[in-house]
Amino acid sequence: MTPAPKSIHLRRAFWGLMLLIAWAPMPLGSNRPWSAALLAGLAGLLLIGLAAGNFRAGSRPAVDWRRLRLPLGLAGVAIAWAIVQWSTWTPEIWHHPVWQQAATALDMPVKGRITVNPDATLSALMNLMGYLAVFWVTLETAQSRRRATLALTVFVGIAAAYAAYGLAVFFAGNETILFMRKWDYFDALTSTFVNRNSYATYAGLGLLCAVGLLLDKARNLAPRGGVGRPLASRLNSPALLHLAPLLVAALIIGTALVLTGSRAGVAATAAALLALPALAMLGGRGSRLRHIIVALPVLATLLAILLFAGNPLMERFEKDPLATDRLPAFALSLSAVEDAPWLGTGYGAFHETFASYRDLSVSSPSSWKKAHNTYLENMLGLGVPAAISLNLAIFLVAARALRVIPSRRKSRVFPTLAVAATVLVGLHALVDFSLEIPAVAATYAFIMGIGAAHAFRADDTTDSGLATDVGQEAV
């Protein structure tokens, strides 16, 4: 059917968003200054285009921002404080001592700031606002169940494509990333990412969405309350063919994930996968039985992947996980936080700050550009109050999604995936910096946007508002 005039800009924004999500992992996870800036800039342009489309169409935003005013306000506090850190008009007593040291060394006045690295703070702020733009565009364009399902399905296909590329490179000798020679992680699958742990988080999100969609689609094949056709006859029906692409995608992504050899990445993904059926069971007794029945073959498949492709991972698990520099680095980072708990030392400026605290307890030759703990790094960079504000904003969205799961009969999978994705990235952020990789953070914002679109609406009995328009589209 011909799209409704008011929905054309929504459809364009949606496909622009999907192109952005597909592009993000390509240039080394968008973890280079130019690619991070491009990702944030394109996300901002999508948001501006969506707002302009709403204005021209004379329609209100699909989401009432007042429903999200608390998490948005908390995120705004962190953004505002990062701007204050970057500015030069703050009281001199607030400025980091490095600026006075620079003035003394140069024998000339130097404008001081709270942040030790203004460029790094500005870049981190740009990235954060880009992720918020991805979240809001997704929130606006994924209001209908049909559109949200399509978005997740396309993302699973994207994640499977990157996993297939990673597998091809890995089994061909694992010597390249795109058109470049690898310079690290020669024994690990990293796809288009540099770091095994960063790709493990990205692959984990892809696997989580594949399994979540599988559970959602397959539950209708399971018997309801013991009445109706036997399960065997349902599994023999042509409807099972609709599950095959998702199952194949899950196998490809799962195999790639295990071959990363990322202990924390696999463990966090496993915790999130276990959370999926547990969260789905919140829907009632009959729903619990169907999800248990469907979850068994899915878990058996994942176990098979682990057995046949898990040698590199098992070898790393056998090593002492504490035989690293992370615990000493955590202790030094905490010491740095104690020296500037309220003001912070500059959002995104961990590298410069940590260099002045590093001692021989951290013996690695690495320059240690990240804290390997996102919570610690944010507290050191933003200061404790602003870091709590940012984390609380994310937590409130996830908490809302968790709260509405029992009442969402038709769209339960979307808030469920948002909560499970938060479990995944939240756990991994305790021991690594995957959420500081733009492609990973943008993907997480995308999944949270879908979850929030269906968590902050009154109910899911009908596809109201945007859904009415989307229903007329040939997406």
- Return the bridge partners of 196, or none: none
H helices then E strands: how many in the chain?
A: 19, 2
For 177, the enclosing helix (H) or strand (E) is strand 176-177
As given in the structure block, the two tokens for residue 72 are 């948005």
How far is the C-alpha of 111 from the C-alpha of 95, rounded, in Å? Answer: 9
Contact 124, 348 (CB under 8 A): yes
Q: What is the dihedral of CA 50, 68, 433, 356, to 10 degrees?
A: 110
For the chain of 475 residues, list the mean pLDDT of each consecutive stretch of 10: 64 96 96 96 96 83 80 97 96 94 90 95 97 96 94 97 96 91 90 95 96 81 51 55 86 92 89 84 59 61 57 53 70 94 96 89 78 95 97 96 87 93 96 95 98 81 41 37
> Sign of the C-alpha dihedral, residues 427, 432, 436, 438?
negative
Q: What is the distance, to the nearest Å, from the Cα of residue 3 to the centroid of all Cα atoms in its chain?
A: 31
What is the reported pTM?
Answer: 0.89
> Sign of the C-alpha dihedral, residues 435, 441, 443, 449?
positive
- Residue 304 is predicted with a pLDDT of 60
DSSP of 17-64: HHHHHHHTTTTGGG-SHHHHHHHHHHHHHHHHHHHHHHHHHT---SS-
Q: Is 322 helix (H, G, I), strand (E, B) or coil?
A: coil
Select from 475, 423, 421, 427 the least CA-distant residue to 451: 421
Contact 9, 50 (CB under 8 A): yes
How far is the C-alpha of 64 from the C-alpha of 42, rounded, in Å? Answer: 24
> Sign of the C-alpha dihedral, residues 76, 116, 435, 385?
negative
Q: Is 113 helix (H, G, I), strand (E, B) or coil?
A: coil
How far is the C-alpha of 228 from the C-alpha of 222, rounded, in Å? Answer: 10
- Residue 326 is predicted with a pLDDT of 82
For 181, the enclosing helix (H) or strand (E) is strand 180-181
Q: What is the dihedral of CA 136, 141, 142, 148, to 10 degrees?
A: -130
Q: Is 176 helix (H, G, I), strand (E, B) or coil?
A: strand
- Residue 342 is predicted with a pLDDT of 96
- Residue 145 is predicted with a pLDDT of 92
Select from 405, 415, 403, 408 the least CA-distant residue to 450: 415
Q: What is the distance, to the nearest Å, from the Cα of residue 99 to the centroid of all Cα atoms in its chain?
A: 35
How far is the C-alpha of 391 from the C-alpha of 433, rounded, in Å? Answer: 15
